[in-house]
Structure 1
Amino acid sequence: MNFLRKIVNPKTKEDEEFYYDLKALLNFKPIKLFHYKKAFIHRSLKMTDSKGKPINYERLEFLGDAILGSVIASFLYKEAPKGDEGYLTQMRSKVVSRESLNKLGKDLDLIRFVQSNINQNQIGENIHGNIFEALVGAIYLDRGYNYCHQFIYDQVIIPYVDLQKLENKISSYKGYIIEWCQKTKRKYVFESFEDTGRQVQKHFSVIVYIDGQKIAKGRATSKKKAEEMAAKRVYYSFQNEINDTE
């Protein structure tokens, strides 16, 4: 494929536009554009190389996830010297949660680079976080760890990582509600079912019952999202009682 060639200087108008957009985003000069182009190719295009191997962002996403986790772990180790392993793990999970990464991808407007055969509104919310991780992977392959470290520091740590706020952030409303119910000896049920209706994309609904009473409902494109949505609504319904028990 033409876009997989190694290029130092843009050769086409499309390459040139992509190069300067990337340069403005990264705050450094990208060298091998094909890594970055691959970071935004959705599997729905079904692209393959000459050996039949898939060309999409998923392997870069895996790589970027590992690098992002290591940079955040290093930062937390230095900035929270009194934190034990459990604390550091929990804080890292909050920084690199799917919700946080999706927000990062949205704030950087990475979706504008994505090539896909699926309408962007139907791809799903996680595309934003996935391509952010793929971008980190592309930076690593192009410029190495130090450039990744600086990019993550500038785009993630400085604008988003506030340890005091993170300590108070609830990473999973479902887990929080279950823990609260167990602590206060309340019976809880998360009832889930497929609720696609007339929509093409599959949807799920989750109803939460506390002590036999229906409290809240959540509906989303995945069971996990629907559970979190419903649990969050339960949290706000019982917020005063929850605060009294803490």
Structure 2
Amino acid sequence: MELKKRIDDILNKFDLKMNENNYHLYKTALTHSSYVNEKEPDAEDYQRLEFVGDAVLELAITELIYKNTNLDEGNMSFLRQKLVKEDTIAKIAIDLGIDELILIGLGEDRKRQSLLADVFESVLGAIFLDQGYKTSLRVVRKLFFDLIKKCQNDITQIRDPKSLLYEYIQTDSRNIMKFVTIRDQILPNNRHLFEVEVVIDDVVYGRGKGHSKSEAEQQAAKDALSKIAKT
């Protein structure tokens, strides 16, 4: 069976061997809804396995970041966000050859980034159900460890919270961020005390105070990163 052999080839890259009774998991992980509609109406598409794989990937990435970096919670959250970006995962899927195995209907683009990212996660979900979490973690480690170290170095070179927050929101091009001065108080010593809010997509994410607008913006960005890390 050609598909099974090619799945085995991918698993062999991680020194894994498929449990024969679980071949259906891997086939399902590679099956797009358009293929089900056109060729196998009784089959299941990859979406449920994608749900599983998404959770496994986030947990594994979180564990690897915690154990292999000394970043604080805000930077850990920022790093995780960078690692699970759609384009990053899609590139990994192509490097593994997953794009060539997707069972897909006519008119669909197997190179579409969102599809590749989804199918990678569904394959990881299949590995988790077939082999367990420890094996899934080993797969994620092999694929992401070098990238974790590279991104960590990039983050540590960006020291100020405002720059980090800008980097964070750029992981989603739809995000619009602005800093709004809500108070400019003149103190008895004639110094100003500014209070600033950072607003992302019309939602207030953080507030900060400082004797200059720049200082207040940095404090607001720090507050926002702290709150984002807890979501």
Q: TM-score, normalised by structure 1?
A: 0.58
Q: Is the contact made by 1:41 and 1:56 (CA closer than 8 Å) also made in structure 2?
A: yes
Mapped pair 1:57 → 2:46: yes
Verify: 1:37 aligned to 2:21, yes or no. Answer: no
1:83 to 2:92 alignment: no
Relative to structure 1, the CA distance from residue 74 to residue 55 in structure 2 (aligned partners, 3 Å threshold; closer, same or farther) is same
| Residue type of the alignment partner of 1:158 | D
Q: CA deviation at 1:161?
A: 4.4
Which of structures 1 and 2 has the bigger CA Rg? 2
The corresponding residue for 2:127 is: 139
Distance in 2 separating the partners of 1:110 and 1:71: 20
Q: Quick one: higher RCO (CA 8 Å, sep 6+), 1 or 2?
A: 2
Q: How has the CA–CA distance of structure 1 residues 176 and 119 changed in structure 2, closer, same or farther, with 3 Å as cutoff? A: closer
Separation in structure 1 between the aligned mates of residue 142 and residue 15 of structure 2, nearest angstrom? 10
Structure 2 runs not aligned, ≥5 long: 159-163, 182-217, 219-231
- The residue aligned with 2:229 is none
Task: Report the CA distance shift for 1:88/1:183 in structure 2 as closer, same or farther (over 3 A).
Answer: same
Deviations 1:101-134 (A, max 9, x none): 1121122221111011134537732111111101
Give how far 1:69 is off: 0.4
Deviation by residue 1:38-80 (Cα, 9 ceiling, x = unmatched): 110001123454xxxx601111111011011001111112233
What percent of counterpart residues are identical? 23
Q: Give the TM-score, by structure 2 length.
A: 0.62
- Residue 14 of structure 1 pairs with residue 12 of structure 2: no
Q: 2:90 aligns with which of 102, 119, 137?
A: 102
Runs of 4+ aligned structure 1 residues displaced above 6 Å come to 174-177
Offset, 1:146: 0.9
Instruction: Look up the match of 1:210.
Output: none
Aligned to 1:24: 12
Query: What CA distance in whole angstroms lies between the structure 2 residues aligned with 1:166 and 1:99?
Result: 19
Which amino acid is 2:26 matched to? Answer: Y
Between Structure 1 and Structure 2, how many residues are aligned?
Answer: 168
Say whether the 8 Å CA contact 2:10–2:96 is kept in structure 1: no
Aligned to 1:155: 143
Give the aligned CA root-mean-square deviation in angstroms: 3.0
Name the CA distance, whole Å, in 1 between partners of 2:120 and 2:175. Answer: 30
